[in-house]
A and B are shown apart, each in its own frame.
Chain A
Amino acid sequence: MRVYVKFYAKIRDEIGIDHMLLDIKNDSSRLIEVIREIDRKMNKKIIEEYYVRRRLLISINDTLIDIDDDILLKDGDKIDIMPLPSGG
């Protein structure tokens, strides 16, 4: 499967790219597996660190998800990876 991943704000600066197309061997994949694949591809352990510390927001196809849910991603999904808000 192939998913589109976009990074925002501080996370984008830390990972060093705005977005990526990610190819994964399986037809579907759990969120944590996708996160590990991003870090592996970038050769950095950044996104998993944010995920473990619960310091990010993730949306799938423009819908915010609860990262504690057992999310299964599929081919064509658009994933937004964002830091916690700091507006106002």
Chain B
Amino acid sequence: MHASITDKLSKLDELIGKIKEESEEIGAILVFIGVVRGISPLGKVIRLEYEAHEKLAQNKLNEILHDVRMKYGIIDAIVEHRKGSVSRGEDIVYVVVASRYRKEGFKALIEIVERLKREVPIWKKEVTEHGYRWIEERGSSNNKDEE
């Protein structure tokens, strides 16, 4: 299990190769890639700027991976999340889950992504051609586009 907040994401095929080596019991590898959307209600997106409380974020990601492994019995999981400036179209986050069978893998992947967005102290500022705004968490009345 590995989680990191990083300036540069690993190559995805290397992450998949690494997790595949963990166990011969692996029968499914599931991947989530978060990407900077090119358009927002404010117009054309130029970049997202990520800020984190790195110590708390790292601890919370480790806690989430531990919880999900215990809950679904997955074999391994990796999370890498960018910090700093991320341009439109670039990858923001990789979540890779390895499991024996696909069902627990899908459930684990969804739970990791959802908890990452709701619980990990990372924030993003969206910079567009018309200005910028801090994106608020899901459920906020002025960010229905994030639902």
Q: Which residues of A contact B (CB under 8 A)?
A: 8-10, 13, 57, 59, 62, 64, 80, 82-88
Tell me, rounded to whole Å, the shortest Cβ–Cβ distance linking A17 to chain B.
16
Scoring B residues 97 to 129 as 1 if CB is less than 8 Å from chain A, else 0, what string do you get? 000000000000000010011111111110000
Total B residues in contact with A, Cβ cutoff 8 Å: 28
Q: How far is the CA of A64 from the CA of B55 in the complex (A)?
A: 11
Look across to chain B and name the residue whose beta carbon is closest to the beta carbon of A86: B135
A-B contacts besides A9-B134, A88-B34, 7 pairs, CB < 8 Å: A62-B56, A82-B121, A85-B119, A85-B123, A87-B116, A88-B81, A88-B93
Q: How far is the CA of A21 from the CA of B34 in the complex (A)?
A: 38
A83: B residues at CB distance < 8 A: 123, 134, 136-137
Tell me, rounded to whole Å, the shortest Cβ–Cβ distance linking A78 to chain B.
11
B8: A residues at CB distance < 8 A: none
Contact assessment for B117 and A59 in the assembled complex, using a CB-CB cutoff below 8 Å = no
Q: Is residue B30 contacting chain A, with contact meaning CB distance below 8 A?
A: no
Q: Which residues of B contact A (CB under 8 A)?
A: 34, 50-53, 55-57, 60, 81, 92-93, 113, 116-125, 134-137, 146
- Given B55, B93, B125, B137, which contacts A85 in the complex, CB threshold below 8 Å? B137
- Given B56, B57, B81, B136, which contacts A86 in the complex, CB threshold below 8 Å? B136
Contact assessment for A8 and B136 in the assembled complex, using a CB-CB cutoff below 8 Å = no
17 contacts between A and B (CB under 8 A): A8-B51, A8-B53, A10-B123, A62-B55, A62-B56, A64-B121, A80-B53, A83-B137, A85-B118, A85-B119, A85-B122, A86-B134, A87-B50, A87-B116, A87-B121, A88-B81, A88-B117
Among A13, A57, A82, the one with the most B-chain Cβ atoms within 10 Å of its Cβ is A82
Given contacts A59-B53, A64-B56, contact A84 B136 (CB under 8 A): yes
Contact assessment for A87 and B134 in the assembled complex, using a CB-CB cutoff below 8 Å = no
Tell me, rounded to whole Å, the shortest Cβ–Cβ distance linking A47 to chain B.
16
Tell me, rounded to whole Å, the shortest Cβ–Cβ distance linking B127 to chain A.
13
Among A8, A9, A84, A86, the one with the most B-chain Cβ atoms within 10 Å of its Cβ is A86
